[in-house]
Each structure stands twice: as structure tokens, then as C-alpha cells.
Structure 1
């Protein structure tokens, strides 16, 4: 990432979860992981407590503005200190949820305004946020709204070293998926993903494999007509628009090594169809990327993990991957 770009903004996440200690761990790994400069929007007291719990003598510095982070990042972890709070791992609270919400709000605004080059969001607990007035289904929808993008035009992609996947439907009951799937939804979300692969990932002509919904991709209507009536027309429209899409394909044959060599992105019809193979292949390196936004936004592909916060068991791999991917995508946008 060019040093002339603004630093990345990393949110604190829920301060009772594993976000604070992973932010500290990421800074400690900054050189080996070749991370772009970043700063944390949150609380020095929480970060200091998280570092002490892990036995780290971590230098922290309160900064006045994001531009201050680049010059000191090599020596200290820069923090935009917005609130004092005691570190209480595994014990979520109203004050902690308010801090998580405030961290997200400020960080998103800084990136939207150009003071930071990308947004990396640490995990939050949706139920805790809801209790303090957060009305969105998740951070993705909130960030999309802050960017002036309709939630349905913000596409979730999960990416790891071995696989990239986009689920067309996300947090929906499996019984509702056939009703929610439409040819236009599949076409629109796949087109957004294809454009993002070009812009943010430098793939000149992305190859996209589109999964079927039913076993054996419906087997010519024997096991359901969604492939015939909905998915195949969407694929045909994508191809007519110049997108290299293929399918519908039988999902059970899409994710072995030889099959993955023939596409850059797998478009799946529902949440688990996408996330099971991604987590099986790249559990410690999975990144949640929001496509279709005017800003770069990534997040490690895991939750708050309250049960292991402060125990030293949280692994920093996904956070490192999310920060690295945010920096890479921001650099590609700046170079375009």
C-alpha cells in the first residue's frame, strides 16, 4: 500500500469480545504481516487492558486525527480515543455496546470523508447493539446506509486464500430461500460482485461459477425447477452483459481443488452453501468484504467470541487477513 494513502480505520468492536486483543495482536504482527498503517477508533483503556491480559507491554498513543497515525505507527498503536471504559472480557454491557456503536459510526464517517482509506470492522453483538438503539440487521447494512447505498445493493463476499464466495440470500430461513430467489436478484448481486473483482481485486475478466439450489442442480427439473425458471435465466442475462458466468452447477462438485481452479468466485444461493466450504478451507483466514460500496470495508469472518475473550485463545489470522485485504483494495482503487 502506498505510504501516501491515508491510514486504515479499525473499529474496536464490542469491547467485551475478542476485537480489542486482536487489534493489539495485529499491531504486534504488523511487520511480519506487511500491514498498511492503521489506527483504532475506540478506547485506550480497553486496549491497554486487553494487552495486559495477554501479557503484552504494548505502547499506545492517543492521536488527534487519522493523519497522525502514519508517522507513529511503526512505534506505537495509534488510537482515536473516544471513551474511557474498563476492560471486562466476556461481560458485555450497555456501555460497551454504546462504545462499539460510536466506534463504528465515527470510523465509517472518517472513511467516507476520505480521512481514512478503508474501514475494517471488528465483531459486534447484534443483540447488544439493538439494546442501545442500533436498528440495522448488522454492520454491513449500517455502513451501506452511511454511504448512501441501499442495503440490497451491498453484497457480502467471503474471501480466503483458497476460495471467494457470495451468498445471494444471507440471513434467511432455509425454507424461505426459494421464495426470495429471483433472476434479477441473482443477476444484480453477481454483476456487483464481478465489477468489484475487477476494481478491488485486479482480476481483469472474472470467471464466476453459479451454484444451483437443489441437489444435482435440479437434474432437469426432477428435484425442483429453480434452476430452470430462475437461476439459468440469470446466468444467461449475465453472459449477455459480457460477464463470464457459468451455471447453474451442482454445488456438491464445485469446491474441490480442481473445480476451484476454473473460477474466481462462487455465487451460492444461500448462507450455508457459501460459508461451509469457505470455513472448511480457510477458517483462520476468512475475510468478510462488502462489495458495491464507494468505500472499502472488510471484517474478519468471526464473531465476538465472548466465551474466549481475554483467555489468549483468540487467533489473529482473520484480523490480519482483513487488514491486509483492506489495504490492498484501497491501493488498487487509488491507482485506478
Structure 2
């Protein structure tokens, strides 16, 4: 099997994306995994290379099909949209527009069959909005660009996989949005990803909304029985090993020791907290339900350290590894 081509979007050029890309692509193991094609700005990558002390040259390409993965240089589809002197660490509509264009182009590259997956460096939601692109984040933007009506966010670390029923909305709005059909669809998307990853009969635990899973109506207003239990029963009727709704604190402990292959979290912080306690350097964000494979680092733009060269590239390397594992396999 040949190595898949993975399109790496540079993220917000004022953040740490260019630096972690240059650090990651200086590692031979990354090139042994895949053929990395950066969608970004070649000048900014060269600047980041100087910042991090990576002397890898950068080839500026005008089309994705011209990439030479044997040259030893970073292959960059150069959109040339980052002005010289753009400061690191500052929110900018110029940077937000560039980040949008990187993602838009990556989708086009994959849809044209020139790459088998997308791996994204972090963007700034504030900069994206300042550029006029009103999306809460990568997940919703990619759904828009691919015409996908509904997707799910999955976070993966070496000890835990978490898929989210709701993400970037307030807690009150999240509880209102949760309903059995949505919960069942999220479980189904997660189940399909695990089966494709080689887990034939995954064990899935579903979080409750309220403490102690409502304690038989003592806490909350019957949300578990109304919103979650019907979905769990429907999935079990398909023959799947799905259990819940379970108290989230206990479920995450059990999943962390290996009793469950995936946890279904009801809202953003319920799922993100346990993953991030395990370490940002190992976390990977996967958008589930898109017609293209997309993985991402599980951290932000880190404007406070951008341009200093100290950013940790390990999450990006792991995200590339996950993209390769999920990408369509091609014969050599």
C-alpha cells in the first residue's frame, strides 16, 4: 500500500500552526507515515522554520499535483496570502481570511482526489469572524464546505475516545438541543468509525446529563429518560454494545482504564475536560461524518507563545498518524 497524501492546513498564520508544521515535517517518521502536503503560505513557513531552527527547505507550489515527495523539501501549495511582517500572536482579519482559504483549498484538493485526508493546524475563531466567516470552528466550517448537514466531534487520546452530541453552544442551549434522534445518530457515527478502525464490536458508554444520571428523577427534570434512554435502546436493538445513560464521572474513570472503547459526551466541557487532563500533546480532534477524513491538533493557536519556537508539535504528529489510519487505502 502506498503512503496516503495528507493535506495539512497551516491554520491561523499568526498562531503556532506554521511552527509546529515545520517541527513535525523535520521528523523522518512523519514522511514514513504519509506524503504531507501543506496548504498555506510558503513565505510564512520559511519564517517559522527560521524561528524553530528547522533548516528544511520549502517548495512553493502553484498546484497540488506538482508536489514532489522525494525532494526532501516541505511541499507547500502556496496561496501567497500572508503579508510579509504579519505579527505573530495577534488577532487579525487578514490571518482569519488566510486560515479560511487554506481550509477551503484543502477540501478542494481532497475532492479532486489529490489527497486522501485533511489534518488541520489551529485557527482563531475570533480572527475567522473578523474576516467575515461566521463559523464556531473547524467542524462547522468543514461541514459547510462539504455540504454535510450534520457532523460530530470526536477527541482521541491514547487512553480515551470521546464523541460529542453537542459542541460549540451554551449549556442551556445544548440541553435543549439534545433529543433521542440526535443522540442515536451520534452513537451511530462513532460506532462506524470504530468498526472501520478495526474494533469489530465496540463497547460504547453514554453519559447522562445530570449528576448521578438523574438519580431516578432526584436531579434534573427527567432528561435522561426523555432524551437519552430511547437512543441507547434503539442502538442496542441494532445489536450494538451500548450502555447508558451513565454518570459521567464514573464512566470516564471506567473508560480511562479500558472498559469502554468510546464515551458519548452530551456537551462540550463534559467531553473535553477529561481528554485535556490527559495531556494536550497527545490529543487529536477528528470530525466524524464528513465525506473527507479530517483530524486536528487538540489545542488552540497559543498566541501567547506564537513566534517563539517553543510550541510542541506532538499533537500534530499524532493527528497525522490518525489521519493515515482513517484514510482510504490505495494500492501501490
Shift of 1:228: 1.9
Q: In structure 2, what is the equivalent of residue 325 of structure 1?
A: 322
Structure 2 gaps, min length 5: none
Distance 1:3 1:259, change over 3 A: closer
Q: What's the secondary structure of 2:194's corresponding residue?
A: helix
Q: In structure 2, what is the equivalent of residue 55 of structure 1?
A: 53
| Residues 33 and 320 in structure 1, CA contact (< 8 A), matched pair in contact too | no
Distance 2:10 2:30 in 1: 22
Distance 1:324 1:4, change over 3 A: closer
TM-score computed with the length of structure 1 as normaliser: 0.91
| Residues 22 and 315 in structure 1, CA contact (< 8 A), matched pair in contact too | yes
| Residues 3 and 34 in structure 2, CA contact (< 8 A), matched pair in contact too | no
Q: In structure 1, what is the equivalent of residue 27 of structure 2?
A: 29
1:107 aligns with 2:106: yes
Distance 1:227 1:93 in 2: 43
Q: Which of 173, 179, 188 is 2:176 aligned to?
A: 179
Q: Which moved more, 1:210-219 or 1:90-99?
A: 90-99
Alignment of 1:306-325 (within 5 A): 306-325=303-322
Q: What's the secondary structure of 1:231's corresponding residue?
A: helix
Q: In structure 2, what is the equivalent of residue 90 of structure 1?
A: 89
1:244 aligns with 2:247: no
Shift of 1:252: 1.2
Q: What is the aligned residue count?
A: 328
| Residues 14 and 92 in structure 1, CA contact (< 8 A), matched pair in contact too | no
Distance 1:4 1:281, change over 3 A: closer
RMSD: 1.9
Structure 1 gaps, min length 5: none
Shift of 1:65: 3.3
Distance 1:258 1:27, change over 3 A: closer
Q: In structure 2, what is the equivalent of residue 269 of structure 1?
A: 266
Distance 1:142 1:29 in 2: 30
